[in-house]
Amino acid sequence: MLTATDLTALWITFKLAVVSTALLLLLGTPLAWWMARTQWRFRFVIEAIVALPLILPPTVLGFYLLIALGPRGPLGRLMESLGGQPLAFTFTGLVIGSVVYSLPFVVQPLQNAFHALGQRPLEVAATLRASPRDRFFRVAVPLARPGFLTAAVLGFAHTVGEFGVVLMIGGNIPGTTRVASIAIYDHVESMQYANAHWLSGLLLLFSFVLLASVYATNKRAAVMRS
C-alpha cells in the first residue's frame, strides 16, 4: 500500500512535472521556432547544446547544476545578493534542473513540427496581409498542434521519471524534494519491495496511458488530415 510519505512524494512529483512542463513549453516554443526557421550557419551549435542532456549522464548534469545553484555558484550568489537563499536542495532548484534536463524532449518535437509545416502556409498567410505574429499564432501553432501535444507529454513524463538530476540537486528531503523515483529507491534500499511495487506499478501504468493517449491522438489527427 502507498504510505502517507509516498503520497506526498507523488504530489511533489506531479507539481514538479506540471510547473516544469509549463516552463518548458514557454521557453521551448520560441527556441524551437527559431531553430526550425533560421538559416544561421552555426545553428548546429545551439542544437548540440539543447540535445546535450540526451547523452550526458544525469549525475554529470546534476553535479554542474548543483555547483551553479549552490552558495558558491553564480546563480546561488545572485540569489543571495537579491536577499534570497541558494537554490540547491529546494523545490525551485528541482524545477530548474528538470527544465534543463527535459529541454530536448520538448524542443525537438516542436522543431520537427514547425519544420514539417513548410513555407507555403506561411506564405499564403502573408499574401493575406497577416503579420508575423498572426502567422505564428493563427497558422503555425494550430498546424503544429500534434507536436505540442507530443512535446508536453514527453516533457511531463520525463520529469516524472527523473532520478539522477533531482537527487543531485534536491537531495532527499521528505515533503520538499523527495520525488517518487527517489521514494522507490529508498523502498528498495530498505528492502520494502511491496511499497516499491505499488509506486513503480502506478508510475508504469501512468506512463503507458499517457503515451498511448498521445499515439492515439496523433493517429486520429493524421487520419483526419488525409
Residue 95: CB atoms within 10 Å? 20
Report d(CA 64, CA 88) in Å as an integer: 11
Closest CA to 98 of 34, 12, 36: 12
Cα angle 127-128-130, degrees, rounded to a multiple of 5: 100
Mean pLDDT in runs of 10 for the chain (226 residues)?
88 95 96 92 92 91 90 83 82 93 94 88 83 87 90 92 89 90 92 92 90 80 61
pLDDT at 221: 65
If you write DSSP's letter for every residue of 54-85 in order, what string do you get? HHS-HHHHHHHHHHHHSTTSHHHHHHHHTT--
pTM given for the model? 0.89
The tens digit of pLDDT for each residue in 6-24 reads: 899 999 999 999 999 999 9
Give the N- to C-terminal CA distance of the chain in Å, as an integer.
47
Report d(CA 108, CA 160) in Å as an integer: 19
The tens digit of pLDDT for each residue in 135-154 reads: 888 889 888 988 999 999 99
